[in-house]
Structure 1
Amino acid sequence: MVGAVGRLLLILGLGCSTALGRDAAYLQELLRAARDGHLAERPEWHTLVHYRSGLWGPGVTSLIDDPAFFLARGGKTDPEAELSATLSAFFDRPPSGAEPARCRFPARYAWLKETLGFDPKRLPEPRCARFEEWLATLKPAAISLIFASAYLNNPASLFGHTFLRIDAEGSADLLAHAASYAAKTDQERGVVFALKGLFGGYPGRFSVLPYYRKVKDYGDIENRDLWEYRLDLSSAETLRLLQHLWELQNVYADYFFLDENCAYQLLLLLEAARPSLKLVDRFRGWVIPADTVRAVATTPGLLKAVKFRPARSTVILSRLAAADPHSREIAEALAAGRLSPEAAALGEFSPEARASTLELAIDLAEYRAAVDPDQAEPLKPRLFGLLQARNRLDVPPQPPNIRVPERRPDQGHASARWRIGGGVAPGGGFFQLEYRPAYHDLLDPERGYRRGSQIQVFDTALRVFPEAGKVQLQRFEFLGVVSLAPWNHSLSPLSWKAGIGAARRYLDGHNAALVGRFDPGAGLSYDFGGHTLAYALAEGAVEVADAFRYGVAVGLGPSVGVYHDFSACWRGALAARWLHYWLGGPSQSAEWRLEQRISLSDRDALYLQVSDRREGGHDFWEGMAAWQIYF
C-alpha cells in the first residue's frame, strides 16, 4: 500500500515538475534585470497595461477593469508586480487546452524579449497557432484610422466615432477588417442610458469585424460619411499594434462617453505600435473623437493619405442635384413602385440618362430599405426588377460627381471655446465670460463639421455687473443638440432639437431668475443654394423655478430662423420664437435674436448679438460683443 502511494506521489511530482517547466535560475536573472532596468516604470510597459496616473495622489491605475487582463493579484495598480508575474508566467506550462501566457500576451512578450534579450535555449518560444491563424486571416499590410461623422439620432455617437481598419495585402478596402471599441449597452436608451454612459455603467470591448459591415452600418443605415486616414506605420509597428489588439479582444474596460471612449482607447493602441507618439498625454478631462483625429493628423510622420467615403444619403443628394426635374420624378416613381422599369417613359431617355435614372431609383430604394427595416422585405422584388433593368443596359456605371468637403474633420475649428465680452442688459452694463468644452454650434465655422448640426456640452456663461457688484450664472447648458437636416422630396428628413440646462428669464418684470429648462422641438429646414439655411420648428418648453405658480411652467409654440453666409468668414443668424404657457408661467413670451460671427483666423472670431424678449407686457433688450477663441 505504501509503495502504491509512493508511486502515485512520484507521478504527481513529475507532473507538477512538467507543468512548471521553468528554469528557475534564468527566471531570477530576468526578474533581477527587469528591476535593475526599472522596466516597470517605462512608458512602454505602462502603455501595454494601460496604466494612467491617478487624479488623486500618487501611483497609477490601469484603465482595463477585467481581472482576466492581469496576471498579478494587484496588477491593476502595481506595475512591478504585474511585470514580475508576466515574466514568471512565460516560464509556466499551461494546463491542457489552455494557451501559454506568451500567446495570450504577445505584445508584452515581444517587448520584454526585445528589452531583456531572451535566450531561446533557456526560454523556448512556443508556437501560438490561434494568433498566427488570426494574423493569416487579416493579412495585414497597413492600418487606417476611420472617422465616422456624427449620428445625431444616437446619443452615444453625438461626437462621431473612430475605429481602425486593418488593410489586407492585395485586397479591396471593403474586404479589410475593422477593429472597433464600443460600449455594450444592450440597446438601452433615455435617461438611464445617458447617466450610465457618463459614469462608466457599460463595459467597453474591442471587436474585429469585416469592414464592409461597418460601411453598411454607418454609411447605408445611419447615413454617416466616413473619412479614412491611412497611417504611415512600418510592418513592425503594424505587428505590434495587432499583438496588443489580440490581448484586448476578450477583456473589458468601463466605458465613459466623455473620456475613456472609443477615441481614447484607439490612441493607446497606436502608442503600443509606436511608443514615441505620446498621443494620450495631449488630453485631460475629456476626449472627443474629432480631436483625436486632429492629434493623429498633425503628428509628423504619422499620416500618409486621406480618403473620403460618402454615405448613401450623400451619394443620393449628389445624384438628385445633377438630375433634371423630369429624371428625378421618374426615379422617385420607380423607387416607390408607381412606375415599372419597363415603362415607356424611360424610353425617352438616352441610354446614359436611362442608366443614371435607374441607378438613382436603386439608391433610393436601398436607402429606404436600410433606414426602415419594415420596408426591406416588400422592397426586395421592386429592387430586383430595377437591378435587372439596369444590368440589361450596355452602359458603364454613371457615378455622381460628389463634392468632397472643403475641409476634413481634423481641419475644422478646435472643439473647446472661450468667449470674452461685454454689453448692456436691463441690469446695466456687464462683462461676460463663457466656456464651452465641446463642441460646435450652428454659428461656428462650418468647415470640417456636419452642416446644420449643433452639439454643445457644459456650455457655461458667467456675467459680472460692475456697478451693482454682482456676479451671476447667466447660462448653463448641460447638453444642447440641434439637427437641421435640409428637406427634399426624396429623402424628407425631420429637423429637431433638444436642450437641457438653465438660463436667466425676467419673470417679474425686473429681476432675472435662473430657470431650469428642457427645450424639445421638431420641424423642417430647407437649404437655399448652400449659403442660406432656414428652419421652422414646433417647440416645447418645460421650465422649473420657484417663481412659477406651481414651481413649473409648460409652454408650446413655433420658432423660425435663418442662417446666412455673407462670406467664407462671416455668418449671420436671425431667429424668433413665441410660446404660449398653459401651466404655471406667464401666459406667453416672445423673443427674437440677431447674431453674427466674423472669423479673424482659424482660432478666433468676433461675436455680436442683439436680442429682445417680451414678458408680461415688458420688453427686455440686450446687446453684447465678444471675442471667441477656439482651442
Structure 2
Amino acid sequence: MLKRLALLALLVSAQLHAAPHIDSARLQQLAATPYWIALGHYETGKLGGWRSYVDDPKFFLSEDGGHHPDRELAATVQALYAPANLGDKHAQCVFPARTRWLSEQLGLTDLPQPDCQEYRQWYQSVDPHSAVLIFPAAYLNSPSSMFGHTLLRIDQAKTRDDDTTLLSYAINFGAYIEGSDNSILYAWKGLMGGYPGLFALMPYQEKLSEYRSLENRDLWEYQLDLTPQETGRMVEHVWELKQVQFDYFFFDENCSYRLLELLQVARPGQDLTSQFPLTAIPTDTVKAVKQSGLVSGVRYRPSRERELLARADALDHQEKQQVLALSADTAHLQSADFGALPAQRQALVQDAAYRLERYRANGQVRDPAQAKRSFELLRAINRNPPPPLDIERPGLPENGHQSRTWQLGVGTREDRAYAEYGLRMAYHDLNDNAYGFPLGAQIEILQLKLRQYEGNDWQVQRLDLATIRSLTPRNELLKPLSWQVAGGLERVPGKHDDEVLVSHVNGGAGGTWQLADGLLGFALGTVRVEHHNDFAQFIAPAAGFNSGLLWRNGLGNMTLEAKGDYFTNGEVRRSVSLNQQWEISQDLGLRLSAKREFSHLATAQNEVMLELKWYHY
C-alpha cells in the first residue's frame, strides 16, 4: 500500500510522459494472454474469476491486481510512464519482464529512460545463456527432501565449452524458515502452508555442495532446449520475484510447481502447470518437462556416498579393514600389512580411505586432525593414483512408475469373501516396481482402502496418513540406521473375532543388511501407541519388532515380514505376511498377499488377496 501511495504522489508532482489510452477490448485481450497470466502467476479461481499464487501485495501495482489481471496490466502501463528520476524504484526497473513484453505488444516507443543500475548489474553478473533443470534425488532422512527436489541452473555462453558449471547460478524456490523447527513441526507446517515460499538466486556451487555432499544425494541434470532469449526472459522474471512471498505447500505449491511457472514464462505457450491440479511431486514435474520436448540431454552426478561405495565394491574384506585403519590413522600407510599389498590394490585402498574421511566430514565442524589425515591420504593418492571410477548410472527417476495408485483387490478372510478398493495419493512402497527408486525405500502419503464383504457389508479397512520406511543396508564402511514411522487408522483383531478400526502411531529403528544381490534382510525394534476400545479406555502403548526379507526377483519385488506388538495391558499381537508383485508393465502391477494374524483377543485369522494396482497420475 505504501509503495502504491508513494508512486501516485510522484506521478502527481512530476512532469509525466503521456501514457497511451488502451482500448478496453485490447486491454482485456492482452490481460487474458497466457504470457501475462504467467507473469502474474494467475490461476482460475474456484468460484470463477482469477487469483494469483503470489501472496505478497508489493508484487502488484493495482490495489486488486491479485484478482484482476486486466487492472494490473492497466496499472503497469501507467507506472511505466512514471518520471525517469525514480531510478531503481521505477516500474521499468522493478518489472523488466513486464516492461519488455508490454513495449512489444503496445509499441511503447516513447517510454522514459530510467537508470536501472541495480537490475543491469545483476543481470550482467548472471549473464544468462542456457538453463539446466536439476533434480536432486529423494533423501528419506530429510522431511523436505523425501520426494526429491528441483531447481534451475543458469549457464553462461561458455559454460558448457569450458565445463565451468560451478560458476553458474541456481534458481531455487523453497520454504523460508525462521528459527529451528523440529522435523514433525516442519512437516506439519509444510503440509498446511505455514511457511512462506521465496525464490532465491545463488551460486550453483553452494547448492551442489548442499545436495550432493551434505545430504549425499545423487543429482540429475536435464539440459533444457531454451534459446538465450528464452532463458533471458525467465531470468528477467526472477528479478521481479525478488523477496516476493508465495504460500508454500509440500504437495502442490512447492519447488517444482513454481519452476514450471518459470518455464512457462521462458517459453510462452507451454502448458505445464495444468497437469498438476492436486499434487506436484518433483519426479512427475520432471517427466512433464521432458514430455514437453524441453529436454535435450541428461547428465548424472553420483553422490559422495555412491562414489565411496563404488570404490569399495572392488575391495575384499581384508582390504576394507585396511580402509578403516587408514582412515583412523594415516601412519598405517607405513605398516607392513599395507605395504604387502600390490601397488594397484594400495591405490584403491587409500582412495577409498580418503573418500570415507571426506564423507564423514560432511556437515561437521572442521576437525584439524581429520583435515590432516585427509591431506596425508591425498598426498599418497597423488603418488599412486587409482583408476577412474566407473559408476553405473541408475534408472532415470522420471521413468519410474506414476505417483498416484488406484487399487482393486479380491480376497478372503477366513470364510468371508470380499472386494477391496483403494487409492494412494503418493507414491511408492517396498513391493512397487523399483525402477528409478532405491530398493528399501517406502513413502506412502494418504492411502484409503475400503472393503466390501459379502452381503454388501462395507467398511473402512485403513486410512494411512503417512507410512515411511528407510531400509538402507549396512556394510563394513558405513553403518546407516534403518527406520520407519507410520500413522493413521487400520483394522486390527478385536473381541468376538471381528476387526476393530483403531487410530495408531508407530515407529521403529534397527538395521538392514545386504544378504545377496537384490536381497535385503532387516530387523527393527518398534514402539506403538493406539486407541482401541476393546482393551483400553484411551490409549495403549506397546513395544515390539518388525523383521523380514526384501527380494528383488525376476517377477518383481517380494517381502516376507514378521511383526509383533506386546502391549502393556497384556495383549500380544503378531503377524506373518508374504507379498509378491508381478510387474505387468511400468504402471500396472498384480500383487498376491497372504497374511496370518495372531491375537490374545481372537482366534488366529488367515487372509489372502489378489490385487491389481494401476499407477496413474
Question: Could you state the TM-score of these two structures normalised by the residue count of structure 1?
Answer: 0.91
* Compared CA separation, residues 339 and 516, structure 1 to 2 (3 A): farther
Residue 604 (structure 1) aligns with: 588
Equivalence for 1:224:
217
Question: Per-residue deviation at 1:323?
Answer: 2.2
Query: Is the Cα–Cα contact under 8 Å of residues 341 and 385 in structure 1 kept in the other structure?
Result: no
Q: CA deviation at 1:556?
A: 0.9
Pick the aligned partner of 2:454 from 454, 466, 480.
466
Match of 2:439 in 1: 451
Which of 48, 54, 69 is residue 64 of structure 1 equivalent to? 54
The offset of 1:154, in angstroms, is 1.5
Cα 1:23–1:343, aligned 2, differ >3 Å: closer, same or farther? same
2:510 is aligned, of 509, 523, 540, to 523
For residues 148-547 of structure 1, the aligned pairs below 5 Å read: 148-171=136-159, 172-186=164-178, 187-300=180-293, 302-337=294-329, 339-371=331-363, 373=364, 376-391=367-382, 393=383, 395-396=384-385, 398-405=387-394, 407-426=395-414, 428-467=416-455, 469-547=456-534
Residues 143-189 of structure 1 show CA distances to partners (whole Å, capped at 9, x for unaligned) of 01111111211111111111001123323222221110010123312
Q: CA deviation at 1:21?
A: 4.2
Shift of 1:19: 6.1
Moved more, 308-317 or 609-618: 609-618
State the distance in 1 between where 2:277 and 2:71 align: 27
In 1: Cα distance, 2:11 partner to 2:549 partner:
79
CA distance in 2, matches of 1:504, 1:97: 67
C-alpha separation in 2, matches of 1:218 and 1:386? 25
Deviations 1:567-587 (A, max 9, x none): 1x422111011221114xx52
Partner of 1:590: 574
CA contact (8 A) 2:85 2:114 kept: no
Shift of 1:20: 3.9
Extract unaligned runs of 5+ from structure 2.
1-8
Q: How many residues align?
A: 602
- The whole-number CA distance in structure 1 between the counterparts of 2:415 and 2:25 is 67
> Residues 443 and 466 of structure 2 are in contact (CA less than 8 Å); yes or no, is this contact kept in structure 1?
yes
* Deviation of 1:352 (Å): 4.0
> Could you tell me how far 1:375 is from its partner in structure 2?
6.9
> 1:6 — aligned with what?
none
**Displacement after TM superposition at 1:190 (Å):** 3.8
Give the alignment's Cα RMSD to 1 decimal: 2.0
2:196–2:247: 8 Å Cα contact kept in structure 1?
yes
Match of 2:17? Answer: 23
CA contact (8 A) 1:150 1:224 kept: yes
Any conservation in 2 of the 1:18–1:93 contact (CA below 8 Å)?
no
Closer, same or farther: CA 488–102 of 1 in aligned 2, 3 Å: same
Q: Which amino acid aligns with 1:105?
A: F
Superimposed CA distance per residue, residues 353-407 of structure 1 (whole angstroms, 9 cap, x where no aligned partner): 3333222111101111115x2574541222222223323x1x55533211111x2
Alpha-carbon distance between aligned partners in 2 of 1:345 and 1:141, rounded to the nearest angstrom: 54
Contact 1:19 1:94 in 2 (8 A): no
CA contact (8 A) 1:606 1:625 kept: yes
Deviations 1:393-448, CA, capped at 9 Å, x for gaps: 1x55533211111x211100000001101111147111100100101111001111
Residue 549 of structure 1, CA deviation? 2.5
Q: CA 1:390 to 1:548, structure 2 compared with 1: closer, same or farther past 3 Å?
A: same
The SS at the match of 2:585 is coil
Q: Secondary structure at the match of 1:600?
A: strand
Match of 2:536 in 1: 549
Q: Distance in 2 between matches of 1:77 and 1:439?
A: 34
Which amino acid is the alignment partner of residue 296 of structure 2?
A: K
Cα distance in 2, alignment partners of residues 573 and 455 from structure 1: 16
Q: Deviations over 1:527-570 (max 9, x none)?
A: 23331121111111111132232321111112211111221x42
* Deviation for aligned residue 1:127: 4.3
Query: Which of residues 40, 44, 48 in structure 1 aligns to 2:31?
Result: 40
The aligned runs of 1:101-120 (5 Å cut-off) are: 101-119=91-109
TM-score (norm 2): 0.93
Match of 1:78 among 68, 79, 82: 68
- 253-262 or 546-555, larger mean C-alpha shift: 546-555
Which residue does the alignment assign to 1:141?
A: 129
Cα–Cα, structure 1 residues 374 and 614, in superposed 2: closer, same or farther, change >3 Å?
farther
AA of the residue aligned to 1:547: D
Measured at CA, do residues 502 and 533 of structure 1 come closer, stay the same or move farther in structure 2, by a change above 3 Å? same
